[in-house]
Amino acid sequence: MLVILKSGAVGEESAAVSRVAERLGCEVHPLALSGRTALLLSGADLRGRESLFEALTGVEQAVPVARPIQRVSRVLGAPLPPLRVGGLTIGGDRPVLIAGPCAVESDEQLIPLARCLKDAGADLLRGGAFKPRTSPYDFQGLSAAGLEILARAREASGLPVVTEAVDERSLELVEEHADVIQIGARNMHNYALLKRAARCSRPILLKRGFAATLEEFLLAAEYLLDGGHEGVMLCERGIRTFATHTRFTLDLAVVPQLRKYTQLPVLVDPSHAAGVRDCVAPLARAAVVVGADGVMVEVHPDPARALSDGAQSLDPTEFAALAADLRRLAATAVAQRESVT
Ligand code: PEP
Ligand code: MN
């Protein structure tokens, strides 16, 4: 655990933290963090004991930092440069909007849609060329031809593109064609792929495995950072629970929880969580309110005919309305932050 002291904390306040920690069997290692002092406590299991330390005067925050997540950690990791995709900053003062179909199907499907998404305010275009489908009988994506369609859609719309790599071979192709590489939920635990992706020159959007704990999610990101990658963003996309009224359960609490541990931008994908269209916009709005750095939604020009995930895809009109709502909500959030500071 890392106990961060308030900036004016005095020696006696720091000593009080050490006394409590030592009583619990911990070793105490003082660290200087950009002008402030923090105490790294090790050697005993302090899970769930944060409030014990936060109750002491002089303590600003107690953060259950595990040593294994030292690179993604917001306090132990080296400060990362802002994450940029072209002229766009991810993790800046407004949430970014990623939109597009589940799967790239054709020029006719994607190019007019990409222009329309751009006009409605999307920042990035998504679309899968390599599709990790649950059933082997479902549409598996257009592979390399899909990447070429994405490149033409980028050219036509001016939107940078994000697309998924599912293995080392597709990663090489995706790195060549895309602006952002997506590692999907099913591959979050594919450590060989993560190690290889760590050497890529493009930013990486890492989705949370649908049975991954927060720590497992951060450790997957740690593989990327430890391999030398600096441009990683995280994406919550729903986890498996007992509930059957949605495809997965969107874990919005993970957004503020991740903030405690990591400086990486945190995005939310309400489409794969919901699985049903009418839940997508309310969940996207909630994601912005809870402080997500971006939202990724599936949009198809004709959802009823989509080759994959039509049930959860918005049509372009629904997307335009959502984009306007999200802009309003984001502006309100900025105004609120400014009035507090
Ligand atoms: C996707 O975004 O296309 C996708 C397959 O999502 P996930 O990996 O979250 O299931
Ligand atoms: Mn999909």
Give me the residues of the chain with pLDDT under 70, please: 32-35, 66-67, 75, 340-341
Cβ 185 under 6 angstroms from ligand 1: yes
Strands of the sheet with 59-63, listed across from one edge: 27-33, 36-42, 2-5, 59-63
CA 85 to chain centre: 15
Q: How far is the CA of 93 from the centre of ligand 1 (A)?
A: 26
- DSSP 8-class letter at 79: P
* pTM reported for the whole predicted model: 0.86
Amino acid (1-letter code) at residue 167 = D
H-helix or E-strand containing 316?
helix 316-340
Q: Please answer whether residues 83 and 90 qualify as being in contact, where contact means their C-beta atoms are separated by less than 8 angstroms.
A: yes
Nearest CA to 210 out of 275, 299, 127 is that of: 275
Q: Please answer whether residues 188 and 164 qualify as being in contact, where contact means their C-beta atoms are separated by less than 8 angstroms.
A: no
Query: Which pLDDT value is given to residue 224?
Result: 96
Cβ 102 under 6 angstroms from ligand 1: yes
Q: Enumerate residues 6+ apart whose C-beta is below 8 A from 213.
A: none
- Going by alpha carbons, the residue nearest to atom 9 of ligand 1 is 185
Atom of ligand 1 nearest to the CA of 103: 3
- Going by alpha carbons, the residue nearest to atom 4 of ligand 1 is 184
Query: What backbone phi and psi angles, to 5 degrees, belong to 47?
Result: -55, 130
DSSP assignment of 51-67: HHHHTSTTEEEEE---G
Query: Which pLDDT value is given to residue 113?
Result: 98
H-helix or E-strand containing 109?
helix 107-120
Query: Which pLDDT value is given to residue 310?
Result: 98
Atom of ligand 1 nearest to the CA of 131: 5
Query: Which pLDDT value is given to residue 27?
Result: 84
Atom of ligand 1 nearest to the CA of 164: 3
